[in-house]
Structure 1
């Protein structure tokens, strides 16, 4: 057992605040497993849980100078993990509500030139945001979405692992969701307010 394994949380946290990577590694080793189990019970998606925990620990390291523990370290990590999961639920709920409202509206409305124009505008907006993705991420995204290639097919063609492909696609979707959320909401509101003629 190393010195860090024997340290109490408060000591580890103080060392971590001083920039000690070994202390950070010890915190990660000590809490990753139990946080994974805790998160998976709330959100049973293995890959998402891994992403959530990566964000929690990255945030702990990047914000170590500013973090003031009102609880103990374990309590802080549990709370940070729970809050990230609740944010995902909140965003999924909002996104589903938008999609449901939009789908319902499209089904109940007859197409007109103005609406088709606005749909083209939205498509152009999406294409513009895709073009701003980092080159490798954009290529993988377009191969997946436009060429309908599987993760394995893309991996073979680009000589990378399917895991890398999946990660790149997930990251590109996160970026696009963030950048397009405001545009999509504006577009939907405009439709609901002005589309019925």
Structure 2
């Protein structure tokens, strides 16, 4: 009868390649603790380290026939666990970048949507106040600001003096500034 605990790593590796379950069990018990400590130090999560060790030994058993002929089983296990840890860390970085990207997109999209809504609200408020101007004043204002007509062109179109056009525009701007100033202040105050 073989006393597996007395066998060297090299002897256990040969037996493992031949499918000896007891050799596998001995390797597992020799190295699971030290590998778990190493994985825990690198990952910072006890359960995740435990899962990595479980995965390592599951893979080792499933692929025991393909295990390279090595005289250093501890080195082989260490390199394998190191690579698994690197893969986990790389995967976490990808997930983190993806999460940050999604969060950033959502934040920007919400900001853009909010900005568009505010612009529409503001345009609606301005239009409402322009429509509330006295009819002649509104007409002069619209010809000046929307049709880009000069004071002379407006005066000729409406059959009034340029001085009247100038006064109507000045008065409409004063009214709008007063009304919109208070409304915009309250609108911005209520939005935040």
Question: TM-score, structure 2 length as denominator?
Answer: 0.55
Q: Is the contact made by 1:69 and 1:76 (CA closer than 8 Å) also made in structure 2?
A: no
Gaps of 5+ in 1: 112-197
Q: Distance in 1 between matches of 2:71 and 2:42?
A: 21
How far did residue 37 of structure 1 move?
A: 1.3
CA RMSD for the aligned pairs?
1.4
Task: Say whether residues 1:41 and 2:56 are aligned partners.
Answer: no
1:54-133 matched pairs, under 5 angstroms: 54-70=54-70, 72-109=72-109, 110=112
More helix, by proportion:
2
> Could you tell me which residue of structure 2 aligns to residue 117 of structure 1?
none
SS of alignment partner, residue 31 of structure 2? helix
Gaps of 5+ in 2: 114-192
> Could you tell me which residue of structure 1 aligns to residue 8 of structure 2?
8
The CA deviation string for residues 106-139 of structure 1, in whole angstroms up to 9 with x for no partner, is 111245xxxxxxxxxxxxxxxxxxxxxxxxxxxx
Structure 1's consecutive aligned runs of 4 or more residues displaced over 2 angstroms after TM superposition are none
> Could you tell me which residue of structure 1 aligns to residue 25 of structure 2?
25
Greater Cα radius of gyration, structure 1 or 2: 2
How far did residue 72 of structure 1 move?
A: 0.9
The CA deviation string for residues 32-68 of structure 1, in whole angstroms up to 9 with x for no partner, is 1111111111112110011000010011111111111
> Could you tell me which residue of structure 1 aligns to residue 149 of structure 2?
none
Task: Say whether residues 1:50 and 2:50 are aligned partners.
Answer: yes
State how many pairs are aligned: 110
SS of alignment partner, residue 66 of structure 2? coil
